[in-house]
Amino acid sequence: MLKQRIVTALILAPIVIAGIFLLSDLYFALFVGLFIVVGAWEFADLCGLAPIHRVFYAGLMLPVLFGAYFLSSEMLLWIGFFWWCVAFVLVISYPDGVKFWGNVWQRSCIGFLVLVPAWIGLIQLKTHEKSTFLILLLMFLIWGADVGAYFAGRAFGDRKLAPRVSPGKSWAGVYGGLGTAAVVALLAIWWENEMLTGSQWVLFFFLCIFIVVVSVLGDLTESMFKRHRGVKDSSGLLPGHGGILDRIDSLLAAGPVYALSLTLIGWK
């Protein structure tokens, strides 16, 4: 399993990084949109939709993304932010809160709240003059936190984070992920020290830490949906990793909150 994970990661990571560096804004939007549509197909299964309805749900995501492209990005990012606030309540109240989101139609609507703001957030980041730095930083924060959480969790993971949602996650994993993210953030501040004047680096550092906390929420939220559905992975598309949603669940939460936060502090 570990070998499969490494091979799949070695194939996917260069593709993603090449997309960040080489694609124009429009083609980047299409590139990310492809992942979002596949994610919608997987999310439809978590909703409990039949196979033919899963295809329809994924197809419906295309005109929704097209329409969202012409709406206010900030408004959609705020919608995403409020959804993740709600998701936090649902995760900590699981399984009692299932009555608020458990049926097929409720989960189907939630899928758009999860996927569309994430797409908008990455598009907005791509338009920034420091787009490559900001997007890569977001990726490295999430990847670094995953690595730190994995090793810290295996070594010290006795106290569980949310056993009713994801029994494998521990508080030690969270601390390990945050520690790794702190290192990534400090390296990013050193690399782009000209962008951060005065005490801005302190604000930026804590923003990075906050984004990693939000990414954990994204992971837990997908785990909650999978647990309710009774499946281990969102699909089997990625050997050793499960599905697309299993790889981007943290990004779905962190992306829009990250983009919104940069907007609010004036780094548009």
Total Cβ atoms within 10 A of residue 156: 14
The answer to whether the Cα torsion of 227, 228, 230, 231 is positive or negative is negative
Contact 141, 181 (CB under 8 A): yes
Ranges assigned E (strand) in 100-252: 160-162, 166-170
Give the whole-number percent of the chain exceeding pLDDT 90. 74
What tens digit of pLDDT does each residue of 172-221 get? Answer: 999 999 999 999 999 998 888 777 766 788 889 999 999 999 999 999 99
**Pairwise CA distance, residues 139 & 127, whole Å:** 17
Q: Could you tell me the end-to-end alpha-carbon distance of the chain, in angstroms, rounded to an integer?
A: 41
Average pLDDT, the chain: 92
Q: Name residue, tokens 């943290």.
A: 250
- Say what the pLDDT of residue 268 is: 61
Contact 167, 108 (CB under 8 A): no
Whether 38 has a pLDDT exceeding 90, the answer reads: yes
CB-based burial, 15-51: b 16+ in 10 Å, e otherwise: ebeebbeeeeeeebbebbbebbbbbbbbbbbbbbbee
pLDDT at 151 over 60: yes
For 238-259, what is each residue's pLDDT tens digit? 876 789 999 999 999 999 999 9
Q: Classify 128 as helix, strand or coil.
A: coil
Q: What is the pLDDT of residue 133?
A: 93
pLDDT of residue 2: 53
What is the CA 94 to chain-centroid distance, rounded?
Answer: 20
| pTM listed for this prediction | 0.94
Residue 58: per-residue pLDDT:
97
Q: Categorize the per-residue pLDDT at 266 as very low, low, confident or very high, splitting at 50, 70 and 90.
A: confident
Minimal CA–CA distance to 60: which of 94, 37, 77?
A: 37
Q: Provide the pLDDT for residue 4.
A: 65
pLDDT attached to residue 14? 86
Per-residue model confidence as pLDDT tens digits over 127-145 = 998 999 999 999 999 999 9
